Amino acid sequence: MVKHMGYDCIVVGAGTGGTTTARTLAMKDYKVLLIDKKKKEAVGDKVCGDAIGKHHFDTLNKLIGLRYPTKEECEANIDGIDVISPDKETILKITGEGVKGYMINRLKFGQRLLDATIDTGVEFLDNTSVISPIYDGDFVAGVLTRSSVSGEKKEIRGQVVIDASGVTAVVRRKLRNSNIERNVQNEDVIICFREIRDLTQEIDDLNYCKIYLTQSIAPGGYVWVFPEGAKRVNVGLGVQNTPNNPHPRQQLYENVLSDPLFEGSKVVHKGGGIVPTRRPIWSQVANGLLIVGDAACQVNPIHGGGIGPSMMGGYLAATTVDQALEKGDLSERGLWDYNVNYMKGYGAKQAGLDIFRLFLQLTPDAEMNYGMKHRLLKEEDILNASLGEDLVLNLTEKVKRLFSGIGKLGLLNRLRKISTKMQEIKGLFQNYPSPEQFEVWKSEVESVYEDTWKILD
């Protein structure tokens, strides 16, 4: 076992979250080591829907000078999203500044983020898997690594470790006692299979991402067809990770790729992936440790978008580390502001959407068809909810009559109650507690979930 010189900060994982964290820290002149198990040229090569909202760039450009996607990185500009009902009879066309975005080439984008990070002075160690955290007393003091080239194991020490290892959450899963949950429930995870395909024909709408809601084909998840050029699409399917659910690859092949659109098409890239789709983990800090990105479940629970949140999480984590290093306090308490800052912003939005996610997962196709057809939720409601604003139902007498007459009052009432729970949980996350109040706050959050389960039962 070889011992290594110490760093100020060790970042595990060079994805979108890890590179943003490492770069922000290096911009503040810290000695940063970034570690990834992949070889350098493969960093960023991830199975993904490749869609990212412009607003993430607007924010991060101001904060750390993150450049907007270049022409080479951008496969298509996105103006909106079509949300399609299970029977395909209703299409909600969601447009507006909040949903404008890009389809990016994930590898090129990832490589650009990595290069920009290395350019700020970050030391990068590739082909190296982190195996576990190492401890000094009850503080995380570094990581144990293994080189995939030589097989050599090393202990690398740093004042603070940031776990940005994505859904594998390699450090989080091996933590000793802390307020961080080591495991995430299977039901809070979506397993996906997706392909990028070259088509023989041009697609209809080059600037719209299509999301198909269908419990029968994609139980607990959805089907997506996103444009990556006139004749190229990113097509995938995700299902909730519960024991009886079908395999997403089989569902994609049998129910989606059988569509005439894909006749004669060729696969450019394919693979499976996992997305955590829930509220953020309870706490994202422990003594000497912070967690960023998918490892902290910083993903939009409705559509699974996590590139933007992971970069924002990385920025916030780095800012807290900077202050904690200045004060010389890397304890859980010294790092707690990261929890507060993340939760009162994107975390609160995620928590509200997590409740809405449970509603969507437990609404049968027939009810969804009816609700969408009769605009129980209108385009602007969905846009506002997805942007983290409150879900306000403007129910006219006509809508109420329509739903009560046809025996769908249950759906309407459920949605009304769910929107209240969404507001409650958002309020709790916006007022994230001090370490002393943490257990009380947790039980308040749990009680909102208990109410939600009763509503959806």
Ligand X SMILES: Cc1cc2nc3c(=O)[nH]c(=O)nc-3n(C[C@H](O)[C@H](O)[C@H](O)COP(=O)(O)OP(=O)(O)OC[C@H]3O[C@@H](n4cnc5c(N)ncnc54)[C@H](O)[C@@H]3O)c2cc1C
CB of 66 to ligand X, least distance (A): 14
Based on the shown chain and the rule CB under 6 A, indicate whether residue 194 belongs to the binding site for ligand X: yes
Among candidate residues 106, 308, 94, the one with its CA nearest the CA of residue 196: 106
Q: State the number of binding residues for ligand X (CB under 6 A).
A: 42
Based on the shown chain and the rule CB under 6 A, indicate whether residue 233 belongs to the binding site for ligand X: no
Stretch of residues binding ligand X (CB under 6 A), selected from 29-37, 153-161, 372-380, 386-394:
29-37
Based on the shown chain and the rule CB under 6 A, indicate whether residue 113 belongs to the binding site for ligand X: no
Q: Scan residues 289-348 and list those touching ligand X (CB under 6 A).
A: 293-295, 299, 304-308, 310
Based on the shown chain and the rule CB under 6 A, indicate whether residue 130 belongs to the binding site for ligand X: yes
CB of 215 to ligand X, least distance (A): 19
> Which residues fall within 8 angstroms of residue 304, CB to CB, at 6 or more apart?
49, 190, 192, 238, 275, 277
Nearer to ligand X, 14 or 377 (CB): 14
Among 9, 10, 11, 43, contact with ligand X (rule: CB under 6 A)? 43
CB of 294 to ligand X, least distance (A): 4
Nearer to ligand X, 212 or 370 (CB): 212
Based on the shown chain and the rule CB under 6 A, indicate whether residue 51 belongs to the binding site for ligand X: yes
Stretch of residues binding ligand X (CB under 6 A), selected from 50-58, 315-323, 399-407, 432-440:
50-58
Stretch of residues binding ligand X (CB under 6 A), selected from 60-68, 163-171, 329-337, 402-410:
163-171
Based on the shown chain and the rule CB under 6 A, indicate whether residue 221 belongs to the binding site for ligand X: no
Among 11, 32, 37, 357, contact with ligand X (rule: CB under 6 A)? 37
Among candidate residues 194, 208, 243, 220, the one with its CA nearest the CA of residue 48: 194
Contact map string, positions 265 to 284, toward ligand X, x by CB under 6 A: --------xxx---------
Nearer to ligand X, 36 or 424 (CB): 36
Among 25, 35, 162, 291, contact with ligand X (rule: CB under 6 A)? 35
Distance from C-alpha of 62 to C-alpha of 40, rounded to nearest angstrom: 28
CB of 45 to ligand X, least distance (A): 9
Among candidate residues 277, 276, 278, 284, the one with its CA nearest the CA of residue 438: 284
Nearer to ligand X, 1 or 440 (CB): 1
Interacting residues with ligand X (CB under 6 A): 12-18, 35-38, 43, 46-52, 129-130, 164-166, 168, 170, 192, 194, 236, 273-275, 293-295, 299, 304-308, 310
